[in-house]
């Protein structure tokens, strides 16, 4: 079963929920797909035992064949190619490795070379099998690295995908194919605004979803009203509690220290598995 944990905006406690959920389940696989800023391992503290570079393929011009006709640059929708009188300029960061330029080249003048975009690290923490993607600084697109990371999924286990924040392509890439998505939000006008966007993404991708309200007690009850009036399950409320914040600041997941929470996360998982969004208020 694949459970992704997402949020319409950063800083809502998405990784907190994903980590505490994972630590409440035996034999889980955790993939930190927030590749621009992976931080789950601050809390999981997995010992990294493997590192692997991730590359994408970009065009390389064979000047023995190229006649600078310009057809490749005309075709490229991403402006990753420009043809000048005696050179074909390749802009690696813009290339989406679609392969189209090779198809349209009449002189078979395009070959491929690998370009590193980041790495995948693997390790374990107790019974949690941990992976994280780390995108190289300055890379424009995270989706190829997230794709590579998701190829490590072991679908015979429970897989927790820690999605990037927001609702852009890296989030779509992460949550696509999930059996369920937990949307983490906070009870503020900003939280509600971004939750609404995230809900639209889930509907568009036809992924079942429910909501966890983090820092319950701040703000107002409009997130809950929105969920109730749209028949969206509020799976859990995590209170705005100084003990939780203090543990967070020390890099300690609160299920390890505060009694009762491991059981609540297990119940949350059970409700997801049963296809019923229970209410744990």
95 forms part of the interface with ligand SF4 (CB under 6 A): yes
Nearer to ligand SF4, 11 or 70 (CB): 70
Binding ligand SF4 (rule: CB under 6 A), the pick from 42, 45, 60, 100 is 100
Site pattern 46..75 for ligand SF4 (x: CB under 6 A): -------------x-x----xxxxxxx--x
87 forms part of the interface with ligand SF4 (CB under 6 A): no
97 forms part of the interface with ligand SF4 (CB under 6 A): yes
Nearer to ligand SF4, 56 or 201 (CB): 56
Q: How far is the CB of 61 from ligand SF4 (least distance, A)?
A: 5
Cα distances (Å, whole numbers) of residue 37 to 7, 8, 123: 15, 16, 18
Nearer to ligand SF4, 88 or 160 (CB): 88
Stretch that binds ligand SF4, among 93-101, 152-160, 168-176, 205-213 (CB under 6 A): 93-101
- Using a 10 angstrom Cβ sphere, with 0-12 exposed, 13-18 middle and 19 or more buried, the burial of residue 47 is exposed
DSSP H/E element including 270: helix 261-273
The separation between CA 109 and the C-alpha centre of its own chain, rounded to angstroms, equals: 37
Spatial strand order in the sheet of 28-32: 47-61, 110-125, 128-135, 28-32, 158-162, 2-6, 180-185, 209-216, 234-239
Residue with tokens 């119940």: 267
Nearer to ligand SF4, 62 or 124 (CB): 62
**CA-CA-CA-CA torsion sign (213, 214, 217, 222):** negative
Would you tell me which residues interact with ligand SF4 (CB under 6 A)?
59, 61, 66-72, 75-76, 78, 80-81, 83, 88, 95-101, 105, 107, 109-110
């Amino acid at each position: 079963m694949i459970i992704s944990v997402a949020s319409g905006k950063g800083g809502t406690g998405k990784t907190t929920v994903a980590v505490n959920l994972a630590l409440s389940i035996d034999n889980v696989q955790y993939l930190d797909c927030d590749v621009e800023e992976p931080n789950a391992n601050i809390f999981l503290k997995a010992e990294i035992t493997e590192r692997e570079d991730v590359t994408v393929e970009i065009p390389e011009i064979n000047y023995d064949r190229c006649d600078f006709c310009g057809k490749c640059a005309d075709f490229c929708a991403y402006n990753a190619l420009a043809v000048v009188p005696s050179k074909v300029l390749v802009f690696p960061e813009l290339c989406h490795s679609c392969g189209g330029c090779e198809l349209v080249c009449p002189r078979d003048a395009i070959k491929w070379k690998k370009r590193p975009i980041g790495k995948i690290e693997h390790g374990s923490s107790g019974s949690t099998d941990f992976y994280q993607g780390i995108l190289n600084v300055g890379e424009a697109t995270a989706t190829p690295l997230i794709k590579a990371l998701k190829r490590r999924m072991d679908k015979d286990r429970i897989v927790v995908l820690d999605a990037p924040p927001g609702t852009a392509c890296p989030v779509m890439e992460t949550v696509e194919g999930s059996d369920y998505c937990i949307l983490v939000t906070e009870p503020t006008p900003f939280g509600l605004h971004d939750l609404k966007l995230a809900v639209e993404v889930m509907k568009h991708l036809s992924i079942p979803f429910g909501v966890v309200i983090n820092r319950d007690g701040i703000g107002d009850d409009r997130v809950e009203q929105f969920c109730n009036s749209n028949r969206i399950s509020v799976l859990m409320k995590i209170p705005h509690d100084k003990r939780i914040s203090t543990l967070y600041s020390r890099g300690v997941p609160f299920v390890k220290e505060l009694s009762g929470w491991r059981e609540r996360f297990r119940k949350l998982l059970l409700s997801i598995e049963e296809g019923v969004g229970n209410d744990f208020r």
